Amino acid sequence: MSTTPATPMAPTMPMTPTTPATPTRARKSPSPAMPSPNMPFPDTPSPNTPFPDMSFPDTMPAMPAAPAAPDDGTSGNVVVLTSATGGAGTSTFAAMLATALADRPGDETVPRVALVDADIGTASGGLDVLLGAERENGLRWHDVHAPLGTLDGAALWHDLPVWHDGVRLLAFGPWQSGEPPAWWDIHAAVTALAGWCAIVVVDAGRGALLREVPALAAAVQVPVVQLSVLGAARGRMQLEWLAAGIPDAVVHRAVLAEAEHDGKARHAGNAASGGGGRDGHDDRDGRAGRAGRDDRNGIGDRDGTARRMLIIGAEPFGSSRGRGALSPDALGDYLGHTVHGPLLADPQLALDMLEGRGLAGMSRRQRRVLDGIAGLVLDLCGIEGGRR
């Protein structure tokens, strides 16, 4: 019996004491776990067993320790909705805004609108359930994976559930998967949809993912502030966080050009592609349409620039015909920024949502407000009609 110590080689392989093992066997299957390819090879390798090319392909992406800011120009048509607290109606507003954008009057064809659930957590998500679309076939977040950091926008769009004419939904259900999507999966999906759709509406809840996902941090921000005393206090902190709380490593700054003499701000990055505001909303939509005279559509950043932002006031549930609620003007005076709206506290709409009927119907007044806000969003994005 041989007294040679056991080796990690398979027992079926011949064990020749006169031929010492070399590290060449470990180099035959390159992988990220292998030693550096710069490790020197033996001086006289066998000509019958050439060493493989150990260099990594140029197309293999490097996963950074922190997300990098996008510079692909696709974030101009991404709109992120956040609120300082739960229960402000942000998810319902996101759905209503998506339908208003898809139903814009005068459009010959229905634009592609993506509604994305980015309120992701162990007790969050469920936008498809809220909208009564949980039985619709299609991908959810737990089905979306982008190991190389990119996705095909057209393919992703066509695999999403259809919720409304022109609107497809990408929802998150914590009960469907124990692991939430990685930040690069979310960034890849939002970026891909932005490249294929006319506009992407994102329900980001309290905005936690803005610290992680570049495509969300770079987007147009639409904070929803409750029209109440407590909502005003929370809203001020929310605006300060949006203006200065997102790390520079994530933020791809979307700045506003300096206000022109008439006080109308234009997004500098989209002006050359048909950006700038449109007229015609003032008389029809009330306060929601007065952005043309608004010189405060941006929130100041730490370096003196401004983020593209549209502040929406929402009536608190329980208020009756405006009683117990602040006016958008009063909230705007407190915040120091124009507040648009208000979103109405509609008891029938709330009941429809609770019973799983989704947006079964909206009042004419609510529809007028939504149409006005949709026009402002398109103006702020620099979109004239959107891509088809």
pLDDT digit string (tens) for the chain, length 388 residues:
445 554 444 444 444 444 444 444 444 444 444 444 454 544 544 555 454 444 434 433 333 333 444 444 446 899 999 998 777 789 999 999 999 999 886 655 668 999 999 998 766 788 888 888 888 999 999 999 998 999 999 999 999 999 988 899 999 987 776 678 999 999 999 999 999 999 999 999 999 899 899 999 999 999 999 999 999 999 999 999 888 755 543 443 333 223 333 333 333 333 333 333 333 333 333 334 333 334 345 554 433 335 689 999 999 887 766 677 899 999 999 999 999 989 888 877 877 777 767 776 778 888 899 999 999 999 999 887 544 4
Q: What is the CATH number of the domain that holds 265?
A: 3.40.50
Beta bridge partner(s), residue 308: 298
DSSP 287: G
| CB neighbourhood size of 351 (10 A) | 11
Other CB atoms within 10 Å distance of the CB of residue 245: 14
Asked if residue 145 belongs to a domain, the reply is no
Is 308 within a domain?
yes
How many structural domains does the chain have? 1
Q: Is 168 helix (H, G, I), strand (E, B) or coil?
A: strand
**380: closest CA among 296, 276, 280, 254?**
276
Backbone angles phi, psi at 236, to 5 degrees: -60, -45
Neighbours of 20 (CB within 10 A): 6
H or E, element range at 221: strand 220-226
Residue 305 counted as domain residue: yes
**Nearest to 83, CA basis, from 114, 57, 54, 119:** 119
Give the contacts of 40 (CB within 8 A, at least 6 positions apart).
none
Quote the domain boundaries for residue 333. 75-89+102-111+193-381
In 3D space, the residue among 333, 332, 334 whose CA is nearest the CA of residue 342 turns out to be 332
Does 374 map to a domain? yes
What is the phi/psi pair of residue 342, to 5°?
-90, 155
Is 45 contained in some domain? no
Residues counted in the chain: 388
Residue 50 lies in a domain: no
Is 349 part of a structural domain of the chain?
A: yes
The verdict on residue 67 lying in a domain is no
Output the CA torsion sign for 248, 253, 258, 264: negative
Do the Cβ atoms of 149 and 182 come closer than 8 Å? no
Please tell me the distance from the alpha carbon of residue 296 to that of residue 306, in angstroms, as a whole number.
10
